Amino acid sequence: MADFQYEIVEEIGVLSENAKGWRKELNKISWNGAAPKYDIREWAPEHEKMGKGVTLNEEEFAALKVLMNR
């Protein structure tokens, strides 16, 4: 698997936390130095490990907000 880099630019909020301390979070993340995107995924307590997630650009995130407000 290829190496990749990420930087959590903004921690927006925690959606849930399981018994092992992993938290499902909404953050803005820069992947491999690219422009930050909205990201929803599970993280280990110190952000040292991550699960699979969903990444959204600004337009997709705006569309999701519209759908959620219906």
Query: Where are the domains positioned within the chain?
Result: 6-68
- At residue 20, the 3 state secondary structure works out as coil
> At 1, is the pLDDT very low, low, confident or very high (cuts 50, 70, 90)?
low
pLDDT at 39: 98
pLDDT at 3: 85
d(CA 40, CA 65): 14
Residue 54 confidence (pLDDT) above 70:
yes
C-alpha dihedral sign at 34, 38, 42, 47: positive
Check if the beta carbon of residue 56 is closer than 8 Å to that of residue 64. yes
Residue 40 confidence (pLDDT) above 60:
yes
Class of domain 6-68: mainly beta
Check if the beta carbon of residue 38 is closer than 8 Å to that of residue 17. no
pLDDT at 36: 98
pTM (2 d.p.): 0.91
Euclidean distance between the first and the last CA atom of the chain, given in angstroms as a whole number:
40
